[in-house]
Amino acid sequence: MIKRIVSAEKKQWIVVSSDREIADHAWANGSVALSADDFWNILERPQGSRAGDFEPIEDAGYDLKKKGSPRRLSKKEKAKKRAMSKL
């Protein structure tokens, strides 16, 4: 049902689903897909919190070498951030 709605109406939807197939379909049709965990974090954050707030993370597990600028977000991450700011 979700795939049909996203495909039929040519709008940019914010799809909240942890199902990878639905998320991939949403991205392919120009919509933004958020995982249920990301959406839950939005609902739990206090009303007065700013978008730039963050919690420090530990360095363990982050020793993977990635290509590109470490400060630049991917297109999907930018789209997710824009969508989450609207919620």
Q: What is the pLDDT of residues 38-53, one digit of tens each?
A: 889 888 877 655 555 5
Q: Give the pLDDT confidence score for residue 54 in this predicted structure.
A: 52
| For range 55-71, the mean pLDDT | 59
Q: Which sequence spans correspond to the domains of the chain?
A: 1-43+74-87
Confidence of residue 75 (pLDDT cuts 50, 70, 90): confident
Distance of CA 65 to CAs 49, 59, 68, 76, 77, Å?
Answer: 32, 13, 10, 20, 18
